[in-house]
Structure 1
Amino acid sequence: MFNKIVKTTVALTLVATVVFGANSARFNVIEGDASKKYADLIENDLNSIDFEVSEARDRVDSVYAARYGNPDDPDYDKNWAKNLDNLSFFSISNDKVLHELLKTNPEVAGFAPFNELIYKKASEDKTYVGHLDPTTMLDIVGTKNANVRKAFIAMYDPLDDLVNKRLGGKVEIKTFAALPAKSMMKFEVPVDRAGELSDFIDAFQEKYEAAFEDKKYIIAGFKNFKETYEEDLGMEFAEYDAFFVYSLCHFTFSYNVFNKGRPDGGVFAPCSMYSYIKKDSNTMVIGMPTLSNWTALLNITDPVKQEWVKKIDAEIISIMKSMGAKEI
């Protein structure tokens, strides 16, 4: 009798689809098209829980159609198919919570900002809204500090509660077996302090953006945490002389993943690459989660997509080395 009661209680209260393994991502699966409700949540409700959008990539599916589905475009894909009714990325962060965490654990910026994803497949009348699991984010970037982990993970509760309240739907949890052997790529760049540090940073950023754009990457976002804290929010951030995050996207790669069967991969996009210079240091530290995390966490078995992931990981490392960065 007791076992029967326990089983019944669990069946009534379980709000997520759970299978064995570590959690990779959380999605609210909503019947119908929830695009308008979601847009209203992003525009009007997000600030109420201290999250803000640093970059919005709205209706990327329409850009795919205009480029890869257009016979007059040089990048036209002869195998084009409209597989998505909506694919939108919103790079968001809770800067107030992150303030203390970044001081001691700058690697957290590998997912700060992080991506809040919405997508709807053309083949079904359901909308998916979600993000990577915060515990797994920390495992990827290598954060061990128990207090930092606790605060970072708790930061997502108000966001998930808000989505549950405003959009509803069934919560689904995706799982994975293990992280890849190399979950992060890290680099060091010597800092020239002979002149103004701002001149060095400006020159580095100009070279960085040109190098990636030359290889057909899109600079999909930029967040300067040093300025955000000290100039915008009036919060001291003296531990660093510089701290900024670029959001990167290789559009053709994303199209071949997201529009060809795996729109859930958008929880990783765009990729965040952080750079920081600790106070009075002569070294800039740079880090970014590898794209091999996509294959591992999303259980991607398609060999074509696997090759794309390997190619992009290798190319990003090559670009950084071409700029004089040393892989560590």
Structure 2
Amino acid sequence: MKNLLKKLLALVVVGTMGFAQDIQVFTADNSDGKITPKTIEEAFLKVGFFVAENRDMNIPFKKQFNESSFDVYNLFTFYSKPDTLTLVKEHSEIGLFAPLSMSIYTKKGEKTISVSTLTTESLATILGIPKDDKTLLKIGNMVKEALKTAMPNGQFVKLPYETKAIVGERVTRFEMDMEADSWEDTKDEFQMSFEGELSPNGFVMAGFSDLNYDFEENNYEGYNFYDVYSICKLPVIYTVAKVRPEAGAFAPCSLYLYKKKDENKMHVAFPSVYNWISAMAIDDKASLEVLDDAQKRMEKILSGLME
């Protein structure tokens, strides 16, 4: 076993508690089958969220792995456009969770449906912003309102584990210098090369958000660009979800790249897989191996492009 994998296993076992629960799971009886990913999407739209993707993962699971542990497993990405604009003015890294991710799932043979999302406390910790930030709390309340609308008989359930000490940086960051008169060409070249590296390394671009378009539409022009890629690695979510179906609270992963108008550099970052391991107390070898591989591959891609 690799040294890093040994370290992850050891620290997961002996780590101290982090936040009480980083992931919240809302579960409802669905014996009549009336609650679906589509009806949940409608509730999120109703409270004011923009829905980027609502993807049925059972199709790729069965295609690549010939089976699924779920009757329903959707990965759902969403964000509040006006609240993202409010937050980015103070917290430039909000693109780590714009869009936010969640999973909608029913295990095979069960009559319940569950939705997993990150708590506002865990979002604040990863983003490095105050846990009492009013806009972040507003988003959290919108999520709860949408869930209660979609699943009126549902309730939050306590997960059967506690969070563990994190074993690495919560956010993996890179920077690249840009010339004031040629940043557009540099950006285009970077994105073309980056997108070309995804498939050979087993990643899929599950979505793309041009946040700066929304910012400029609302007369905020602090950035030359602010793009967010939603990145998924199928073996990761397939493997981890078997043990922790709530893993969709982290998947697909948001990777941002932005340039502020008063800087001559591009910032690139994504939430590290160590958040998964800490938040879900992951200790099985299969999950740790696929997470470690994904982290190393993405770091290699980005470090290579930044040279």
Shift of 1:287: 1.3
Q: Secondary structure at the match of 1:242?
A: strand
Q: Please point out which of 239, 242, 265 is paired with 2:225.
A: 242
Task: Describe how 1:119-198 pairs up with structure 2 within 5 A.
Answer: 119-144=105-130, 149-167=133-151, 168-174=153-159, 175-195=162-182, 197-198=183-184
The question of 1:62 aligning with 2:59 is answered yes
Corresponding position of 2:68:
82
Normalization by structure 2: what TM-score?
A: 0.86
Distance in 2 separating the partners of 1:261 and 1:132: 17
Structure 1, unaligned runs of 5 or more: 1-18, 70-80
Distance in 1 separating the partners of 2:31 and 2:179: 52
Distance in 2 separating the partners of 1:101 and 1:180: 28
- Residue pair 2:235, 2:290 contacting (<8 A) in 1 also: no
Deviations 1:103-127 (A, max 9, x none): 1201122111111320111043221
- Alignment CA distance shift 1:130-1:33 (3 Å): farther
Deviations 1:193-235 (A, max 9, x none): 333x4333222211111112221210111101111222xxx30
- Residue pair 1:120, 1:128 contacting (<8 A) in 2 also: yes
Distance in 2 separating the partners of 1:21 and 1:188: 30
Distance in 2 separating the partners of 1:154 and 1:318: 37
Shift of 1:40: 4.0
Distance in 1 separating the partners of 2:36 and 2:227: 28
Distance in 2 separating the partners of 1:55 and 1:35: 22
Corresponding position of 1:8:
none
- Alignment CA distance shift 1:173-1:189 (3 Å): farther
Shift of 1:186: 0.5
Structure 2, unaligned runs of 5 or more: 1-16
Greater relative CO (CA pairs within 8 A, separation 6+): 2
Shift of 1:180: 3.7
- Which residue identity is paired with 1:244? D
Shift of 1:323: 0.5
- Which residue identity is paired with 1:286? V
Distance in 1 separating the partners of 2:179 and 2:18: 50
Distance in 2 separating the partners of 1:33 and 1:274: 40
Q: Secondary structure at the match of 2:180?
A: coil
Q: Secondary structure at the match of 2:256?
A: strand
- CA RMSD of the aligned region, Å? 2.2
Distance in 2 separating the partners of 1:287 and 1:32: 38
- Residue pair 2:215, 2:221 contacting (<8 A) in 1 also: no
Corresponding position of 2:255:
273
Task: Describe how 1:196-211 pairs up with structure 2 within 5 A.
Answer: 197-211=183-197
Between structure 1 and structure 2, the one with the greater Rg is: 1
- Which residue identity is paired with 1:276? Y
Shift of 1:170: 2.5
- Which residue identity is paired with 1:323? L
Shift of 1:138: 1.6
Distance in 1 separating the partners of 2:219 and 2:103: 31
Q: 4+ residue runs of structure 1 moved beyond 4 angstroms?
A: 33-36
Shift of 1:141: 2.4
- Alignment CA distance shift 1:36-1:90 (3 Å): farther
Distance in 2 separating the partners of 1:177 and 1:262: 15
Range that drifts further, 212-221 or 38-47: 38-47
Q: Please point out which of 264, 284, 289 is paired with 1:307.
A: 289
Distance in 2 separating the partners of 1:281 and 1:34: 55
Corresponding position of 1:288:
270
Q: Please point out which of 42, 45, 52 is paired with 1:44.
A: 42
Q: Secondary structure at the match of 2:188?
A: helix
- Which residue identity is paired with 1:155? I
The question of 1:111 aligning with 2:97 is answered yes
Deviations 1:22-71 (A, max 9, x none): 221111111235865343434433233210111222x20122112211xx
Shift of 1:150: 2.7
Aligned residues: 288
Distance in 2 separating the partners of 1:141 and 1:20: 15
Normalization by structure 1: what TM-score?
A: 0.81
Percentage of pairs with the same residue: 24
- Alignment CA distance shift 1:109-1:198 (3 Å): same
